[in-house]
Amino acid sequence: METSRVKPGFNGVGVGMGSVNGSSRRPGPGYGYYMGSGAAAAGGGRAAQAPVDGCSVALRVFVLASTLVSAVVMGVDRQTSTIRITISDTLPPLEVPLTANWSYSSAFVYFVVANAMVCLFSAAALAACRSRAAMVPVMVGDLLALALLYSAVGAAAEFGILGERGNSHVRWAKVCNVYGRFCERAMAAVIVSLIAAFANLVLLMLSILTIHKSSSYY
């Protein structure tokens, strides 16, 4: 009896990629990442979910909490002090209550807005941490958040140093000797935001390293 020969691929039996070009090499680790749509259709959508890195999630939560604390501490920073003004040597000094508020400085307003934006972005990035399609947009957002944080920290720190030391060249007197609590809270918010910026930098580096490892071209 003559045995029927069936060519592979015509009876429903699939042919591996390695047998097509005569090579038995398996696809690289990034094959599933770049062919995510096909793998998702074959695997019931499982390939569309990226593996969750615990270190990245912890850093993201830390950035969210730090920027929230910085924005709140700076946003409620306010102090009223009584200043004595001497009009004449024969008259008693005049006591005038003056208030220092974070909203009086454009640098502090920018600081609060920038930290609030980074906080909201971190919450959105945590919600999309399992999506492969959101990996590159989140990485671009991390880059913008990093620029926002460092610029806001620089602006707020410069204004704080000016209030602490003054500027004798333009005859700007220091004010932190009068509003001590106000300056302390402002500098505490700046330090926490600076730590959040460093954490965001590490997070961005981890994201780039993850994409580098998942790519089959390297």
Q: What average pLDDT does this structure show over 56-69?
A: 93
Please state the domain extents for the chain. 2-44, 54-213
pTM of the model: 0.71
Hey, which bits of the chain come out as E strands?
78-85, 94-101
Q: What is the pLDDT of residues 93-128, one digit of tens each?
A: 788 888 889 999 999 999 999 999 999 999 999 988
- What percent of the chain stands above pLDDT 90? 40
Question: Is pLDDT at 20 greater than 60 in this prediction?
Answer: no
- Residue 130's pLDDT is what? 77
Whole-angstrom Cα distance, residue 197 to residue 194? 5
pLDDT at 119: 96
Cβ–Cβ < 8 Å for 189, 77:
yes
Cα gap 100→103, rounded to integer Å: 9
Percent of the chain with pLDDT over 70: 73
For 8, 127, 137, 169, 178, the CA distances from 56, given in Å and listed in that order, are: 45, 13, 16, 47, 43
Give the residue with greater pLDDT, 151 vs 20: 151
Average pLDDT over residues 187-211: 91
Inform me whether the pLDDT recorded for 171 exceeds 90.
no
Residues 143, 145, 159, CA angle at the centre, nearest 5°? 125
Q: What phi and psi values does residue 190 have, to the nearest 5 degrees?
A: -65, -40
How far apart (Å, rounded) are the C-alpha atoms in residues 171 and 202?
A: 41
Lowest mean pLDDT across 46-50, 164-168, 188-192? 46-50
**pLDDT for 19:** 42
Which range of 10-19, 48-57, 151-160 scores highest in mean pLDDT? It is 151-160
Whether the per-residue pLDDT at 73 is higher than 50: the answer is yes
Provide mean pLDDT across the span 7-15. 46
- Produce one character per residue of 29-51: b if its CB has 16 or more CB atoms within 10 Å, e if not: ebbbbeebeebbeeeeeebbebe
Interval 26-56: pLDDT, tens: 444 444 433 334 434 444 444 455 566 778 8
Torsion of CA 19, 21, 25, 27, to 10 degrees: -100
For the chain, what is the mean pLDDT? 78
